[in-house]
Structure 1
Amino acid sequence: MKLKHILAGLLVATSFSSCSDDFLDKQPLSEITAETFFNTASDLQLYTNGFYRMWPSTSIYNGESSTDNIIQTELSEEMRGARLVPTTGGGWNWGYLRDINFFLQEYEKSDDEAAKSHYGGVARFFRARFYFDKFQRFGALPWYDAPIAPDDTEALTKPRDSRQYVVDKMLEDLDWAIENLNEEQNTYEVTKYTALALKSRIGLYEGTYEKYRGIDGFEKYLEASVAASAALIEDSPYQIYSTGSPEQDYLELFNSHDANETEVILARAYSEDLNIGHNVNYYTTTSSYGRPGMPKDLVNSYLNADGTRFTDAAGYNQISFTEEIQNRDPRLAQTIRTPGYTRKGQSIELAPNLGATVTGYQIIKYVTEPVYDTNGQSITDLPIYRFAEVLLNYAEAKAELGTLSQEDLDNSINSLRQRVGMPDLIMDAANATPDPFMAAQYPDVTGVNAGVILEIRRERRIELYMENFRWDDVVRWKAGQTLTQPIRGLYFSGPGEYDLTGDGSINVVLYEGDRPANPISGIQYYKLGSDFTLDENGLIDPHPDFNGRSFDENKDYLYPIPRIELQLNPNLEQNPGWK
């Protein structure tokens, strides 16, 4: 059995991780006592295996479908501005922290120094990861670095620590982990490189969060991101995966059953043998499960293949599908169905299935052979930390600090562009003529590096599409108003016959009134005003009855703390605007 199957099995079989959502005073791992455990390397490994259950389980798109990256039949509460204060739950679950802190309290009794160093690092990595997930959702939190007794009222009613204090403690944990974790490359287990990747992510998040809110001292977090990213760039086994096939390398990176160890630093393993799957094939190919689609504004942001801006052309928003996807950044055709698309392992060219996508732009990232189309049966490994993200973090942090050079771009962003045969990003040219299309999305980006920062944001949204970054990026950039912009899809001139594959054959018919008599097999028929609505410009409007979306700048960047938690701990304060 392959290593990934063994590791996946461990995550399913281990009973040493809490799946409970109890708060901090729950009993730690009831079958384990400090007197009989934590003595050997095997004990430490077995206990820390349970922490891997913090990874995503069956869904790989939740963080995208709550934003403007993936549009579905129903808009998320975040997109509708419809979140409410929950009574319980709401993400305020602390069981894993209790387990991590219990381990860190007890593991030193082992005599195996090498095991203590490594698994102590694993635990500290997961504590930083745990806090970062909560921190992104709720902001400042009470920091706990030891288990809490059920009768420790002072600890259980502790107020929040400052935002900077919590971030500094996360980085402190990661620095310890980086110093002590094993350096061996391992795609499915935490190593020194994983801790560096998380430090790169946290530093960029907090540095930009503070910068775009005018908080003093943001620079140190951007510098932490730069340092961690540079360590991975200069001294790690990772690089951008490329076989010299720009028309397929990006797609194959994500539709491979096994994570690509060249670029993927850490992945969540899925296994057909163990019946551990997710649902991306079913989600993107069926007409009964959300009908996800890429929005037109994102399609528009992909550059032309020669590096020029698609949105500089007159009438760019009303171009037929076969025209608008010609000679574009090859990642577009490797992320959505375009002419020439075939399913993995097949040779039949397929048009976009408009019944499976509300925007007409049908997603293919992670999609594999049709045999895995049943719900919950997809087995492509989920990348959690990828070298491409580190390169993007590095370039953005340096640009925001004002220390970015062309050499830095060549060592980061341009590696991503070269994989798909795109021209290099030239810093001076980007800053000389910032893209007005991108600037309209992010009006807060100003200064001498505005042009290159906008280009880095373009690269980030495209390269990391469907990898659960968009919401957090919008939050840290203080760019919530981007989520209120009109959502549109494919352009059609009106009722009629359409060729979406470019082969001269009709594959879509849009009609009004009665369905055409004697429909032809293999052609998709959709009634305008019923199956699809076109706006005044001929663009699909997937939500014609809901265009009055709002984003409250005073509250919507954070989630509310559940009411019961505020009652249990009167020293907690609700997030602003949620009272």
Structure 2
Amino acid sequence: MKKSLYAIAASLLLLCSCEDLLDRPALTTVVDNNFWRGEGDVRLYVNGFYPLYFEGYGVDWSQEFAPVRGGTSFCDDFTSEGTQSRFENKVPTSRGSSSESRSCFEQYYGPSWGFARIHKVNILIDRLNEYKDNFTEEEYNHWMAIAYFFKIYEYSDLVGVFGDVPYFETTVRDLDFDTQYKDRDSRQLVMDKVYDMCEFVLENMRPDDGANNVNLYVAAAFISRFMLYEGTWQKYHDGEEGCDGKVNCDSEHAKKYLEMAVKAAEVVMNSGKYSFGSSFKDLFVSENLAGNPEVLLYRHYDEALQVRHPIGSYNGGSDSGSNVNLEYIKAFNCQDGKPWSISSTPGADDFSVANLVKTRDPRFFDTFWNQVNIKSNTMIYCYKFASYEALDHFYKTGDKLANWQGIYNTNDCPIMRLAEVVLNWIEAKAELAQSFGGPAVTQADIDKSINAIRDRPLSAAAEKAGVKKTAHLQIASIPKDPKRDSDVPALIWEIRRERRMEFLHEGNRIKDLLRWYKLDYMDYDTDPDKYLGPWVDFPKEAGTEAGTPEVNKNFMNARIGVLQVQRADGSVVKYNGANADQMVGFYCVRNASNRETFFDRSYMAPVGQQQIDEYKMRGYHLSQTVNW
């Protein structure tokens, strides 16, 4: 049965929520006894998971987990005016929901505390077992694999936010308080359960279940994501204890999960079904991603059905509270495949926007507009999710095209794409080789992953602008970046750089910092470039001179006594209305200051005090997250 990802399950299947997280009634007897008749019924139920987990760009003004507006800006790529967003600094009064909807906990880019979605998937598992005679063996195995996939997804996300969480094998009965109020299980116990479900999924899910449905390759791609996260978490957090005081991170589990990440990624890579056949830009602004060879799963938008979103309209302007900083800009490779400080690319040390789009990896051109834009609080405008034509019109007129303003965007959103799979794969292989006796990464491995990405076709606008593809990474001559952390091997450093260039505003960065044990990057006082934007010649680019873009005119006059630039020698100049000729340098983000001090406990979130008290009132114990 063909469907779009915005389809929702029939209301007859939705469960009413009660005040306790797991205290909710069963499906009505009449519906339940007659519903699980075959694949059609199960598929209808499963459709209800799609909008929960594959949010894409959201719908209308609902953008949980969507780029830009859905929680993707909390990471070291971005700087806002004023004080930077903080981590939690105290236990919340309450944290929990009985709703099946997912809200984004932006400090972890994951869900909040709650198990309604686990309850929903456990109903599916229980009913498949109860009505097993209604299905062939192949049908049963496939749909059980689908159920396990969504359970894998939810528990991987919950563990990523909270660490230890209660694991519920089956649905919880209304009066089974011992199970409803069970304490948290160790993250290793939960992730070992997830691992076992991953094995079942890879062995039993159909390779094809209809256009744009979850299938073996989609599931394997997500498994590579979840297992890479947990494998690297186990490595870099080795020796950490859980709520029970026992060690729940070790090298044995790190190796196990990383090997699963490699295995799952290879299911996709060896299928021959996917390739890098479109430009980076086309992945995010196409009106229809059907047939795009890089995209495994996407969310479709359609004006005729009034299924629309605003992400293209707001992906880089004043409405997004933070934008990329100079430190992020400097992390981009030049076209010779090297970081700017050791690059031989002409203009490598020129950080004006007009030069950056011509000399950096082509993804820079496809992600950022080629001129300074005062609508961005760092002066560099991200247009990754809007078309070149939309921005060109905006710059020439100061207005937006009708379908690129408000909630009237209809470009499709890639949910899972090949680039993530191959980058998960090469990182897992590199970690296994570095720390766990795995085979050394070869040039062939690099060619199938990083270099395959770099060989993507250029967008039409990039070709017209003279942008060149980035040189291949050579295993025998990995760049020696002077900024590399001493505890990160050179190859793994370059893999991390590739992820950073590829996944801007897709929610990956903060999760990467969490799993790599690198939250210290969020302390902006360790790198002053995080308070700066690109190099700007304000009289020419945002003044009153002829040729100044319409959107930037007269900006300087509105910032007398406020506008500041940092010159090449490190000195800072403030605009006083009479020194315009001196206003050339790195833009100083207005009033930008560091976030509040944070500690190691910020790697995992606390549960709410109210939830702990509710357990206690019932005679049970809910452990608080370690160090909280």
Regarding TM over 0.5, the answer is yes
Does the 8 A contact of 1:321 with 1:490 survive in 2?
no
Which residue type is aligned with residue 232 of structure 1? Answer: V
1:405 and 2:461 aligned: no
1:552 and 2:599 aligned: yes
Find the counterpart in structure 1 of residue 412 from structure 2. Answer: 381
Does the 8 A contact of 2:451 with 2:472 survive in 1?
yes
Does the 8 A contact of 2:372 with 2:541 survive in 1?
no
SS of the residue aligned with 1:267?
strand
| 1:436-486 deviation line (CA, Å, top 9, x unaligned) | 22x1xx4431xxxx1111000000111122221111111000000111124
1:200 and 2:224 aligned: yes
CA distance in 2, matches of 1:53, 1:567: 33
| 1:162-216 deviation line (CA, Å, top 9, x unaligned) | 2222112112222222222221175632111122112211211111111112223
Does the 8 A contact of 2:336 with 2:343 survive in 1?
no
Find the counterpart in structure 2 of residue 16 from structure 1. Answer: 13
**CA RMSD of superposed structures (Å):** 3.0
Which residue among 326, 333, 354 is the counterpart of 2:374? Answer: 354
Find the counterpart in structure 1 of residue 580 from structure 2. Answer: none
Find the counterpart in structure 2 of residue 25 from structure 1. Answer: 23
Q: Percent identity?
A: 26
CA distance in 2, matches of 1:167, 1:472: 17
CA gap 1:229/1:522 in 2 versus in 1, 3 angstroms: closer
Runs of 4+ in 1 over 6 A off after TM superposition: 313-318
| 1:407-432 deviation line (CA, Å, top 9, x unaligned) | 111111110111152211112211xx
CA distance in 2, matches of 1:130, 1:281: 28
Find the counterpart in structure 1 of residue 424 from structure 2. Answer: 393
Find the counterpart in structure 2 of residue 490 from structure 1. Answer: 533
Find the counterpart in structure 2 of residue 425 from structure 1. Answer: 473
Does the 8 A contact of 2:7 with 2:51 survive in 1?
no
Does the 8 A contact of 2:564 with 2:587 survive in 1?
yes
CA distance in 1, matches of 2:52, 2:177: 28
1:571 and 2:571 aligned: no
1:460 and 2:499 aligned: yes
1:100 and 2:95 aligned: no
CA gap 1:236/1:119 in 2 versus in 1, 3 angstroms: farther
SS of the residue aligned with 1:283?
coil
Structure 2-normalised TM-score? 0.78
Which residue type is aligned with residue 498 of structure 1? Answer: K
Find the counterpart in structure 1 of residue 518 from structure 2. Answer: 479
1:87 and 2:124 aligned: no
Find the counterpart in structure 2 of residue 297 from structure 1. Answer: 327
SS of the residue aligned with 2:265?
helix
Matches within 5 A, 1:159-558: 159-184=183-208, 188-214=212-238, 215-217=250-252, 218-242=254-278, 249-259=279-289, 261-284=292-315, 286-287=317-318, 289-312=319-342, 319-338=351-370, 351-355=371-375, 357-368=376-387, 369=390, 370-402=401-433, 403=439, 404-419=441-456, 421-430=469-478, 434-437=480-483, 439=484, 442-445=485-488, 450-485=489-524, 486=528, 487-492=530-535, 496-499=538-541, 506-507=547-548, 523-526=553-556, 527-528=558-559, 532-535=563-566, 536=571, 538-542=585-589, 544-547=591-594, 549-553=596-600, 555-558=601-604
Find the counterpart in structure 2 of residue 37 from structure 1. Answer: 35
Does the 8 A contact of 2:531 with 2:592 survive in 1?
no
SS of the residue aligned with 1:265?
strand
CA gap 1:299/1:317 in 2 versus in 1, 3 angstroms: same
Find the counterpart in structure 2 of residue 112 from structure 1. Answer: 135
CA gap 1:505/1:392 in 2 versus in 1, 3 angstroms: farther
CA gap 1:560/1:241 in 2 versus in 1, 3 angstroms: farther
Q: How many residues align?
A: 530
Which residue type is aligned with residue 67 of structure 1? Answer: C
| Structure 1: gaps (5+ residues) | 243-248, 339-350, 509-519
Residue 19 of structure 1 and its aligned partner are, at CA, apart by 8.7
Which moves more between the two structures, 84-93 or 219-228? 84-93
CA distance in 1, matches of 2:122, 2:553: 59
Does the 8 A contact of 2:9 with 2:44 survive in 1?
no
Residue 11 of structure 1 and its aligned partner are, at CA, apart by 2.1
Does the 8 A contact of 1:70 with 1:292 survive in 2?
yes
SS of the residue aligned with 2:603?
coil
SS of the residue aligned with 2:602?
coil
CA distance in 2, matches of 1:32, 1:373: 47
CA distance in 2, matches of 1:575, 1:123: 28
Does the 8 A contact of 2:84 with 2:594 survive in 1?
no
Residue 145 of structure 1 and its aligned partner are, at CA, apart by 1.7
CA gap 1:30/1:266 in 2 versus in 1, 3 angstroms: farther
SS of the residue aligned with 2:604?
coil
Structure 1-normalised TM-score? 0.84
Residue 104 of structure 1 and its aligned partner are, at CA, apart by 0.8
CA distance in 2, matches of 1:352, 1:279: 22
Residue 521 of structure 1 and its aligned partner are, at CA, apart by 8.7
Which residue type is aligned with residue 323 of structure 1? Answer: N
SS of the residue aligned with 1:170?
helix
Which moves more between the two structures, 290-299 or 94-103? 290-299
CA gap 1:42/1:492 in 2 versus in 1, 3 angstroms: closer
CA distance in 2, matches of 1:334, 1:19: 45
CA distance in 2, matches of 1:19, 1:71: 41
1:66 and 2:74 aligned: yes
CA distance in 2, matches of 1:86, 1:236: 51
Does the 8 A contact of 2:533 with 2:589 survive in 1?
no
Which moves more between the two structures, 414-423 or 393-402? 414-423
CA gap 1:493/1:418 in 2 versus in 1, 3 angstroms: closer
Residue 549 of structure 1 and its aligned partner are, at CA, apart by 4.2
SS of the residue aligned with 2:4?
helix
| 1:361-416 deviation line (CA, Å, top 9, x unaligned) | 11111214432333332222222221110100111011111132221111111101
SS of the residue aligned with 1:200?
helix
Residue 309 of structure 1 and its aligned partner are, at CA, apart by 2.1
CA gap 1:521/1:51 in 2 versus in 1, 3 angstroms: closer
